[in-house]
Structure 1
Amino acid sequence: MSTAIRPSRGAPALHPRGLPRLARALVMGIVNVTPDSFSDGGRWYDPERAVAHGLSLWEEGADILDVGGESTRPGAVRPSAEEELRRVLPVVRELAAAGATVSVDTMRAEVAARAVEAGARLVNDVSGGLADPGMLPLMAGAGVPYVVMHWRGHSAGMRARAVYDDVVTEVVDELRLRIEAALHAGVPADCLVLDPGLGFAKLPEHNWQLLGRLPEVTALGHPVLVGAARKSFLGELLTDPVTGRPRPAHLRDAATSAVSVLAAAQDAWCVRVHDVASTVDAVRVTARWGLETPAGTPQTYPL
Structure 2
Amino acid sequence: MKLVLPVLNFNLGYTLECGQAFRWERYPRTKGFDAGVYYGIIGRALVKVRYDNPHLILESDAPLDKEEISEYFGLNDDLKRILGEIDVDKNIHKAIAKFRGLRILKQEPWECLASYILSINNNIPRIKILIERLSELFGSKLSLDGIKRHTFPKPDKIANADLKTLKGLKLGFRARFLKNAARKIAHKKFSLEDLKNLSYDEAKERLISLEGVGEKVADCVLLFSFKKYEAFPVDVWIKRYMESTYFNRKKVSAKRVGEFARQHFGRYAGYAQEYLYHYVRCK
TM-score range, shorter chain: under 0.3
Higher helix share: 2
TM-score by length of 1: 0.26
Greater RCO, 1 or 2 (C-alpha within 8 Å, sep 6+): 1
